[in-house]
Amino acid sequence: MTVKTKKPTPTADGSDDDPLLLRQPTMSDGAAVYKLIQACPPLDLNSNYVYLLLCTHFASTCIVAHQNHQLVGFISAYQHPEKQNTLFVWQVAVHESMRGRGLAQYMLEHLLKRSTLEHIKFIETTVDPENHASRRLFQKLAQQHQTELVELDFFQSEHFVKPQVEPLLRIGPLRTHLL
C-alpha cells in the first residue's frame, strides 16, 4: 500500500507539490536502495543482491520513502525468528536532502502501523555508540511509546573484522495506540 503524505516537511527547494510517498519496497527499488545506503556513511554497504532480497523477501517489514521521484528514505527490518513479537531494525537511511526533518521517525512510525505488524511489542536494533542520530531516533521512539530503552552488550570487537562494538538497544513494550 502506498500512502501519500505532506509530512514531515517540504522538499529542499521549498516546494511541496510532490508529496512524500511511503510504501513497501519492491524489486525495482533494490538498486536505488543500494545507492542510498552507499551515500549514507557510516552505514555498512551490503551487496546490491542483499537489498534486492530485502525489497522482495522482507518487503513486509521494510519501508521506502520517495519524493520528487527520488528514493529519500529506507528502513530495513525483519521479524526476529525466535521472538515473534520483536521487530529487528537493521538499517535506517535518509537522503542528505531530507535529514533533520523527522523522516526516519516518520517512516518507523508508519512501518509500525502496518496491520501485519500489529503484534509487535518490542523493537531491537544495534547502534554504534558514536552514531548519535540513530540513538536519538530510538530514544525518541521509546519516549513516544512511554516505554523503556534498554542497552545490552551484544556484538563485541572480537566478532568483527575491524574492531568495533554494536550494543543491542531493546525498546518496549510498545504502546501502538500512541502512534
Domain containing 172 — which CATH number? 3.40.630.30
49-78, pLDDT tens digit by residue? 999 999 999 999 999 999 999 999 999 999
Total of domains in the chain: 1
Beta bridge partners of 77: 89
Q: How far apart are CA 178 and CA 95, in angstroms?
A: 27
Residue 92, domain extent: 3-178
Please report how the helices 30-38 and 48-56 are oriented relative to each other, as an axis angle in degrees rounded to 10: 130
Q: CB–CB of 17/26 below 8 Å?
A: no
Over residues 103-135, the pLDDT tens digits come to 999 999 999 999 999 999 999 999 888 888 899
pLDDT value of position 14: 42
Cell readout for 165 is 562494538
pLDDT of the residue at 47: 96
